[in-house]
Structure 1
Amino acid sequence: MDGDVAVGVKRGSDELLSGSHYNSPNSSVTSNGSDSKKLRVEENPPSRVIHIRKLPNEVSETEVIALGLPFGKVTNILMLKGKNQAFLEMGTEEAAITMVNYYTTVTPQVRNVPVFIQYSNHKELKTDSALNQRAQAVLQAVSAVQDGSSPNSESGGSESVLPAPSPVLRIIIDNMFYPVTLDVLQQIFSKFGTVMKIITFTKNNQFQALLQYSEPVNAQQAKLSLDGQNIYNSCCTLRIDYSKLVNLNVKYNNDKSRDYTRPELPAGDGQDSSMNKDSTSLLGVYGDVQRVKILFNKKDSALIQLSDGNQAQLAMSHLNGQKMYGKIIRVTLSKHQTVQLPRDGLDDQGLTKDFANSPLHRFKKPGSKNFQNIFPPSATMHLSNIPEDVTEEDLRLLFSNAGGTVKAFKFFQDRKMALLQMATVEEAIQALIDLHNYDMGGGHRLRVSFSKSTI
């Protein structure tokens, strides 16, 4: 029997996917693929010890613990593998009650096999650590993750319960008979923590998504609980893994991407007011931007002051006539020698910015190699400062989500640098603006510049 998790999922007493909009035409909102065999909970009084029966053969401790993780801290576990049973002790009786109530409406699944959950007549578990050593080791590792610390490396715990490498999950939807929207994903995954960002896309004719939590432990709990489960009856199966990316770059709030921490983001019509800001990043490829002033009566124009006249001349020669957001950029030398900052107490509506101390300056160090790698905008970009575990697929995905098509990719021998080619120069310009200095995790900030090479 398939594991249907989203239809009828509850958060407290509110159904996450209530209403017929999210249900398949042949299912009701509380249907979970077992209408004729409703889960029977025996009438034991509430206890923080949960009795789980009908477990599949060779089930792991991690899979059993995952049943309880979304509802609170798991404090003890006893595996009875010969009887296909287990006892799970929750940290509080309230957590156990929430867990049992949840699984009365959604049949719990382990390896796509329905299992039976009820309160135990035991009020706590007293386990012999010598006989239950492996289960206790796994629980210790999980508890360390829940507490935000690192598990004991000598505990012998399963690798699958080590701290999540990233707060970002990569989700593939298999057997997709019905549409899966951003809102559906947000409602399903928010049960396990705060969902910050989601990006959806289609690759190899498969619907996929990247979803970022506020904390890696939330991603771990979601993966343990939802991987292999179905959104709707017998279809839309979730395949979940960790992404190498630790932070998603969301530019627009629309039906394909969403940053829940920035509701002010535009829908992405390509004509938003960020063009001037992006132009300032772009000029930073050819010089260190000191100050910027957007003209009050002409918001599509700005004065941009670089460190010296040579940098200004270089920026003009390379950028004048290039295209961004479908518009031609016009760059000329100004009669003004400096951009004046507003007088103290004068509100200029944020039109003037001082970037003198920006950490993004490329040419601050005398004799920097960056001086030797200044080229006109091109479809091919040079990437550097790439973490060791980041793959070609990760980088292709990152740059595709910046709004374009990756045509070619090539790692350098040490894999710390690479060449990446977009379909057009305009796409490369936008990708550079979005992803230069991008946080790749572990203290690595991606460095992006235009290249004279071809792939």
Structure 2
Amino acid sequence: MLKGKGQAFLEMASTEAAVSMVNYYTPATPHLHNRPVYIQYSNYKELKTENLHDQARPQAALQGVNAVQHGSLAITSALDGEGGHLPSQGSVLRIVVENVFYPITLEMLYQIFSKFGYVLKIVMFHKNNQFQALLQYADAMNAYCAKMSLDGHSIYTGCCTLRIDFSKLTTLKVKYNNDKSRDFTRVDLPFGDGQRTLDASLAATFATPNTVFPSYPGAAGFAQPLGFPQGAGISVPAAPGALGSLTITPSTVSGQIRGVAGIPGNSVLLVSNLNPEAITPYGLFILFGVYGNVHRVKIMFKKRGIALVQMADATQAQLAINHLNGQRLYGRVMHTTLSKYQTIQLPREGQEDKGLTKDYSNSPLHRFKNPGSKNCQNIFPPSATLHLSNIPPSVTVDDLKNLFASKGSTVKAFKFFQKDCKMGLIQLGSVEEAVHALIELHNHDFGENQHLRVSFSKSTI
């Protein structure tokens, strides 16, 4: 147990037991003493407790590891040289962003600052005509390392400069989980109108910090930094064995997907807890293809509930994790993380595969073949409302409603776009229904080479 952190490590007897436990508690959060307990995978393969005769030593060791994992080794080493005293300023940072040329989002701040530790809460606001944010870490060391590493740096070259100091607040109070504020320890908070709550896929993304990155050389067991494209922008000073550089470009943050050439980093996803009776390589290709160009898909021959999905690059892989981890698919909560594999091998000639491994690298259905296309700017989490396009003039509202109903969907509403009758919105009974419908009906052939295009919408009817 980590003293004073409200956190603990728990080693199960086997990987299977750990997977079973996480899968069981992901859709139904357990409570201890009326408080929710969040369970996620650790980067440690085992806990070492031998030869430790009291609790003080393991506490100190684990806290030391935590500091190295989330901060900069250079800063940690400096603190050690000064006697190892933890900073006393607190765990809440006040962030002022100067010269805001590109929009700043809550997700962007989370990605940048989570390099240094477990981000608990973020609140964004404008004050004195300045963009400001308050951000609370799990402990003061995380906040100290983030301030020392990021203060004065720019998110983009020449603009969006970070000015960071410690807030007088000891904790943040967050009432709503939305675009301006979020409590990452509470997935049950309303969106702000008293009805909506944070989308399940987004909640799953932020409720599991540092669980999707495999270990990397020089820091065994520690979380790998996000693989952002190299270029201008924030670069967290790297130290041997510590966190590498973090660089953000406008295309990364705005959701624009880079070309097929891609960026370095792992692009292969491990997808687990799938329904073996319903899942197909094509279904995963279509679903994950919403968030990037899928090159290959492999469903495990002996474990049909597990699959590998290879995206075009690491940015697309991370985007798919952000939106699909925790999403219900064919009655099960799907888990999506980075795989230890760097590529999916195609079966050798004569090798039994039963069509479970497919190569889609040259598929005409890739959504992001043209960098900067509208598809790159309209990437949203799974929602009950689908955006339809490429609808032929001869197809009516009833035709579309009947088409979706034939696939088991409950159609609640439909409307054509006023300015363009080739596009429309259709609202289904649930997010899961919409996911199934997108898999079934994206690229549906209306005849005469007219194919329906289906994507998730940010709007409702």
Q: Give the TM-score band, short-chain normalised.
A: 0.3 to 0.5
**Structure (1 or 2) with the larger CA radius of gyration:** 1
Per the normalisation by structure 2, the TM-score is 0.39
Normalized per residue, the structure richer in strand is: 1
